Structure 1
Amino acid sequence: MARNRQRAGQRAGMVATADDHKVTPAELFFDLVFVYAITQVTALMAAHPTPVGVVGGMVVLALLWWCWRCFAWLGNVVRVDSGGVFAVLVTVMAVVLTVSLAVPEVFSDRPGGIPAPLLFVLSYGAVRVLHLASYWVSSPGDPALRATLRRTALVSVLPPLVLLLVGCAHEGRLQLLLWLGAVAIDYGGIYVTGSSGWRVNSPGHFAERHGLIVIIALGESIVAMGVGVSGFPITFAVLGASAAGLLLAAGLWRLYFRELGDAAEHRLASLDGDERTRFARDTYTFLHLPLVAGVVLCALGMKKVLQQVADTGHHGLAEPLHGVVAWSLTGGVGVYLLGAAAIVLRTSGRRPVALAAGGACCLAAGPLVGLVPALPALAVLATTTAVLVTLHGRRGETAAVAVA
């Protein structure tokens, strides 16, 4: 049966992967459109720095994340640099680029041209359909997967698309609530449809793909700082704020790539069958989203810090951040730390006290940020994050020695 599936896949222009499969240049090329997409989400929230605007940005990010993760899974079972799949990949890139162009106006459509919300939803639906069709073609001899694909289409694709389309006919909070409902159904549907038929052929490839998307998000935080000072003179305060922002990004990088990534990959490789699929679903599909969302929220705060520090004509160095932007600076780090804590718990069963406590404190620290000058607030946050990451690493080493 496996040989028949392989022959059928080859006829369809698809090449199955093995357990030693690595990330291909085609997948790196694919990720480029998501670099732009994440940048657009930050720009959307920066243009509407209100609680509703930030929630809207997170809804858009959740939908974009679903587009990305669909093809991270597909690229683990068939080579996306093979003829037929590569053509689909480029098509999806064009559609996601269209989605990204629509992001800034998705909740406040301008008159004239194609309605941005409708363009966004139709493009998102096209990505989901292309993903399911590609999986269907790649699995002619796999009745379990095809049954799961049918359930996914009926439970996790069609109802959310209907809600998204209905939301396009409304504006403001009603549109946002409808889209939130669509995201909840979409994400919850994964548990309803089950894990039967989904496969993770190469743990190394799967872990590397998700590490790359974390890198992309961290890169966006650095780009956001550069955008924040664009058009303003470079001062010592700007250089200091840039250094503090980079230190913060480095702390988040270290937490993931020194403390989380390898352990999760080893755990994934130690499992097989549906147990491996469930671990991949929980740890990567769901728990990596808070990491990316946390970085994007924090990028919003860092962008505003750099903008205030640079724009001396409108802001003084003693001025704090205001409103939801003040919360996003520390709150984004809090979301990241809590996501990291959940990954540690799911991977090893160990309770990451430092990460959980630090994440909760960062989530609650927004009002304090609004009382402190923006530059010192960023510097203190960067230093605190570095201390938390170091403390978590030492506790992990102590736990490893105790087990040994």
Structure 2
Amino acid sequence: MNQKRIFVALIITVAVALVAVILLLLREPGPSKLEEAEIASPKDPTLTPVGEDGQLLLVNEDPGETLNRYVQWAQYPPDSRPLFDWQKDLIEPYKIVAQPLPVIKTPARDCTQDENGMPVCKEPPEFLNVKCDMNSESSVSVGTGDHRVFLFCVDEKGERVKLDNLKTRVYRIFDRKEIGTLPAIHAADDGSGGDDKEGDLMYTVTVRPTKADWGDMFVEATFNVAGKEHNQRVGWFSTPHVVAEFQQGITDHNEDGHLVVRVPIQIHKAGYYLIEANLQEKNDPNRFLATASLEGKFEPGRQVVALRFFGKILRDQGVDGPYVVRQLRARRNNSPVTPDMVQRSIETGEEVSGDHTEPLWEFVRMAAPHETQEYEASQFGKEEWNSDEKRRRIEFLEKMVREQG
């Protein structure tokens, strides 16, 4: 009797497994990374800029395929797109991690350059089983407060090793020219001057930018490790002055089927700003939902900007709120020719030009995360984005399909 029950149970198990396999095979495949990249991009993936004037041309000569790709992309507006967990440049926009570098045991010898200008050495370098990691706490700094750089080296077992004779220098680079600045105010592993813990072999270099330190900044360290001298550097972008500040009083509402987040901001320096934010599921810090952006010219003074997370994105993802608005950030375009000037030139034929005499960007300190009210995903709109531009693009592509036959 027991053997019969076991046999019946085995048959049922095999049948269930077979059904599961069939359902798996019949299920539509999920989107590929390329498809996700296209749907996440704020730029039309069927067009690419060509030439010095950036004229946009179709990527694919097949109008039918181009039409399908465009319709898929144009469900959502350019200023609000789905956000995926692999988009680290958006999820951690001010974190650029430099890779560890090996310590040279014996330098290369008898080196020449090939026709492409690349070094060719008869005796390549030899390396120790030691690698050094040097990274800035953030790829952007705002104001003249202390900014830290962390340095440590590990052996083949992954254990940190002691550094000796640590020396540093600080400088910035603009227009390919190196410009020196004040030295680091502290560089050690002694639990002071910005270093978190004494003796953990994590060395901290603390820099205090001056008001002149605007643009690409670098800390270069020279030290001895495992009996060899090693040199390494890391950079970040410094904005020592304050061009704008986010303020308290952020609010959120469902407006016309979209999640609209209103953010108070004090503009100190007039100009063309780009303001961006991410939306995350509150109960899952690794589940990101959407981005929102706003750009335009702003005059000095306190104002409230509205960031719209497009309703269909939230409805399609089926995630209820509350949500967390994160990475709320802004930067001022300091180019002599800003996007609004380019658009005006296109519309009027007016010529615009200018020379870069200052760094291109001025960053604003990131705002604290904001938790929204409770929402149900089904409360948001199911309508796709629409605009005159979108209708014209679809009509144009449909005409191309018909003409091709």
Which structure shows the bigger proportion of residues in helix conformation?
A: 1
With the shorter chain as reference, the TM-score category is under 0.3
- Which has the larger Rg? 2
Structure of higher RCO (CA pairs closer than 8 Å, 6+ residues apart):
1
Structure 2 length as normaliser, TM-score?
A: 0.22
Structure 1 length as normaliser, TM-score?
A: 0.22
Which structure shows the bigger proportion of residues in strand conformation?
A: 2
